[in-house]
Structure formats: structure tokens, C-alpha cells
A and B are shown apart, each in its own frame.
Chain A
């Protein structure tokens, strides 16, 4: 397992992928946090201000991590793309046969890849947290947000919870990408179907079918990242999402283990 992990990490750490992804993570985190603070008083550009974080919310102990939590959805999309492409490209490049000759235990190969990609996701989440929190402090003065509560132990606990929830949500999105990659065996198909489902299809269904958000994986990922929201409680979201992902992973693992490698 450890050999698979490090072999996969060699692929993930290549500058084009690693630096490119981390730059995207920094950009996404900076954009979301900046918008949150800089548009705080602009009702014209923030028509749903009642649902968004307002000054009172930002001044709470949890306020320091609101920008970070709001970045979770986009971080999840990045993870979905990375997990899907890293998995499906083994089929399109034909490299899977090389990997299976050197590591014939297929489930070990799958788990090693998964854990290496989790490390990649963890680094992106840590980076996002650093950027978001730094920007929150930097922009608090301009936004006239008091940071007195951000240095309390309660704030640190809230930040830890947010970090764990964002990380779980990012891993969940990545896992969906990996499942799609194993099923579809094509990076383009996996990414386009994954992103299309999470961004378009789910939002349409959630907006048109009452209470459907409680059962849609993308909506549940958002609920987990937020530590529970109007859509679903944290425990419900975590439980249903875990069931979905576990079922998906078991199905694709069985397929991966049994399927002939004829590419």
C-alpha cells in the first residue's frame, strides 16, 4: 500500500499539476473571501444578503472561517476534477496495465491511489484555510468587522470544526470523481458528468422538487461543509453522504477487481 501511495504521489507532485492546482486553490479562496468582506454592505450586488454572512455573523468567533467554509464548494470541484482525471487517465493512457504488472493486488492499488489523492486534497484545504483566514484578517478593517472574537478558544474550536467539515466535503467530492473515473474510464466524460451533475442538474432538482436537497449528494456535501444548514442537519448529511459514497466505492471496487484490463 505504501509503495502505491508514494508512486501515485510522484505523479501528483509534478509541477504542472501541483503548482497549477494550488494556484487555482489560492485564487478561489482569495476570491470568495474577498467578495465576502468587500461586498458586505452592497445590497445591489448581494441580493440574498439575508442568507449570506453579514457583519454580525462575521464578528462571531466563527466569522474567521466563514470565507474558508464558503470556498468548500469550489475546492470540492477542484478535487472532483483531480480525482477523476488521475483515475481515468490510467485507462486512456493505457498505463493501468503497467501499474497492475507491478502491483497486481487491485484493491491495494485503488486504496493507495485514493490515499495519495487525499493528501493532495488535504494540502489544498490547508492552503485554502491559510489564504482565507489571512485575507479575513487583512480585510476586516476595510469591512469594519471587529476581530475581537476571532482570537478566542471558541474561535479556534470553530475553525477546527470548519476545517474538518471542509476537508470531509472536499474528499467526498473527490471520491465522486474517482467513482466516475473508474466507471467511465475517461477523464473528460467523468469530469463533465460530475461537474454537470453537481452544478446544474442538482441545483435544478433542488429548486423544483421540495425537500429533494436532503437526498442529493452535492447538496449534502454543501450541508456537511457548512456543518449543517437549512437543507439538512449535519448528522443526516454525513450519514446519507457516507452511505452513498460507500455504496459507490464498493460497486466500483468490485468492478475494478473483476474487470478485464484490455486497454
Chain B
């Protein structure tokens, strides 16, 4: 058994002059949750489609579960996927839609009801798909991806249309699957969710991989912020001046000083403020969130 669930090397896809994915390289070890993030149109879905053999790469190569993507029939029986939202037959029930896919893949039909129960659709199993809400369709898509008891799960925006409780359920589901040894490769615009559940991260921008590695490594690469609040708000400009003299820039936002600096400098700032007669009511280092890091790295205006 190979060490890597996904191994992507120099993978590219061009549509005429337009580069959808450009020389992407990254690896995803077995049994981990890997977040796949990037702005709209950055190439996430195209990459996932290439990994599933749905579209052919223009260049490069990739291996899924140790098999080359030029032979998807060698690995897709161990892969579950939901790409670009759920897609099912409107006139069939949720259960019958899953039975179609189970029959097609030679999978046991008795898994269907259990999976529908697991994603919270057990009571609506026999309702027609066209009567489902967006969240229910999404849940059916996740159930379909779980049909083959996958070693690798590729999910494209699985939390789209889900309410907060549904998002939490999906988060717990993905984490439990990873704990059971399933490798999860998941794209989402909910970066806080990705930050919470993922062990590693692949970040795309305009078809280029701009980061691939452990999520914590990415966050530690970013400069943390020290949040400081003085007992007397008039002291905040003086606090910024002290930080500036020490080589750290900052700003006052909503009555709070936000100073860029390493976590360990918090103690020094506290001492310098005390020596200057400034009494601080709050002082805490904050690591940048994945969301802030994402916007900084991708240049996404949001």
C-alpha cells in the first residue's frame, strides 16, 4: 500500500489559451483531512475532475491510491466523490437514486438505508429528489460519496446549503471518517471549517498551487497580531508609539490597538507599557486565522 493517498506532480489543464490548472504539485498522506481552498475559478474543481478521470490533463501526472489517473478504473471503486454539488434524477427518490449508483458500482444495496440514516435523510428516503431542499440534496450527495466505503473521499463544497447544525454534522462526519482511516480531500469556502478539521492544506490561486503543507505551518508563517486595550483609551496612541520605536507597526481599530509582532514580544510590550505608566486591561497574542491568511495570500478582495 502506498504512503500517499494523492500524489500530484506538475499537473496542468489548459482550455485553449486559458490555464485552468498550472503545474500543480502536492501530496496528501493516508488517513488525513486535507483542505483544498482557493477563490472561485482557481482550478479546484478542475483538479478534482482530473483526479477522478473525468477530464484529461494537458500535462503532468497524478496518482490516486497509488494508481495513475490515466487508469481511473483501477482506483475509483475505492473512492467516493461529490463534485460541483449533488446531481441526481429528480423523478427518483433519494433511496432509489442511491440504489442506481450502488447497482452500477456492484455495491450492496443494504448500505443505502444506513447511509441515508447517517446523513439524516432516513425519514425522507422515499421522497422524490425534486422535493428535497438544497441542504437535503447536499446530504444525499455526501451519502452517495460514502456508498463504496471509500479509502479516499473527494468532496467539493460539501457544506453548501447546509444550516449551522448541518455544517457541524458534516465536520464531525469527516473527522470521524479520517479517524477511521479514510483520507478526506475537501474543498470549501467556509475557511473556518477547513481550519478546524484539516490536517493539511492545498491553496490555489489562478491555477497555481501557492501553498501545500500542514495547516499550522501555514498559519505560523504569518505574523501574529497582539491585541492590546488600555484602561484609559487616550493611552492607545502612546502605546502604538512605543511599539513603533521597538520596530512593530500597529493601528487602532474600534478602541483596540492591533500591533504586528511575534507572540513572545507580548511580555516585552507589557513591560514597556507599564514603565510608561500605561495600564493595560487586555493584552493577548492572536495567530492569524486561515481566513485572514487566505485573503492575504490569494489577494481575494473579500
Contacts and interface: CB of A to CB of B under 8 A. Distances in A.
B258 interface: no
Interface stretch (B81-89, B117-125, B190-198): B81-89
A97 B101 contact: no
Contact of A104 (B73, B87, B92): B73
A260 B106 contact: no
Contact of B90 (A3, A93, A97, A262): A93
A99 B53 CA distance: 12
B84 A102 contact: no
Interface SS of chain A: helix
A100 B77 CA distance: 11
Contact of B88 (A10, A14, A93): A93
B104 interface: yes
Interface string B101-119: 1011110000000000000
A93 B91 contact: no
B76 A95 contact: no
B87 A95 contact: yes
A212 B148 CA distance: 54
A262 B76 contact: no
Interface string B191-214: 000000000000000000000000
Given A104-B76, A261-B49, A10 B105 contact: no
Nearest to A95: B87
A94 interface: yes
A14 B90 CA distance: 12
Interface residues of A, number: 26
A102 B104 contact: yes
Contacts of A239: none
A261 B88 contact: no
Interface in A88-147: 89, 93-95, 97-105
Interface in A215-263: 258, 260-262
A262 B100 CA distance: 22
B104 A103 contact: yes
A64 interface: no
B94 to A, nearest CB: 13
Contacts of A6: 103
Interface string A11-55: 100101100000000000000000000000000000000000000
Nearest to B93: A14
A7 interface: yes
B79 A101 contact: yes
A3 B99 CA distance: 11
A93 B104 contact: no
A260 B91 contact: no
A10 B98 CA distance: 11
B72 interface: yes
A7 B101 contact: yes
Contacts of A258: 56
Nearest to A99: B104
A4 interface: yes
B105 A103 contact: yes
Contact of A10 (B73, B79, B96): B96
A148 B95 CA distance: 53
B62 interface: no
Nearest to B87: A94
A104 B55 contact: no
B55 A7 contact: no
Nearest to B77: A102
Given A95-B87, A104-B76, A261-B49, A14 B92 contact: yes
A102 B54 contact: no
B87 A101 contact: no
A102 B89 CA distance: 16
Contacts of B105: 3, 102-103
A252 B124 CA distance: 38
A102 B83 CA distance: 13
A262 B101 contact: no
B98 to A, nearest CB: 10
Interface in A64-106: 89, 93-95, 97-105
A97 B53 contact: no
27 contacts: A3-B103, A3-B105, A4-B104, A6-B103, A10-B100, A11-B89, A11-B92, A17-B91, A89-B89, A93-B89, A93-B90, A94-B84, A95-B87, A95-B89, A97-B49, A97-B52, A97-B54, A97-B83, A98-B101, A102-B105, A102-B147, A103-B104, A103-B105, A104-B76, A258-B56, A260-B54, A261-B55
Q: Which A-B residue pairs are the 10 nearest by beta carbons?
A: A94-B87, A7-B104, A260-B55, A102-B105, A104-B72, A7-B103, A261-B54, A102-B104, A104-B73, A3-B106
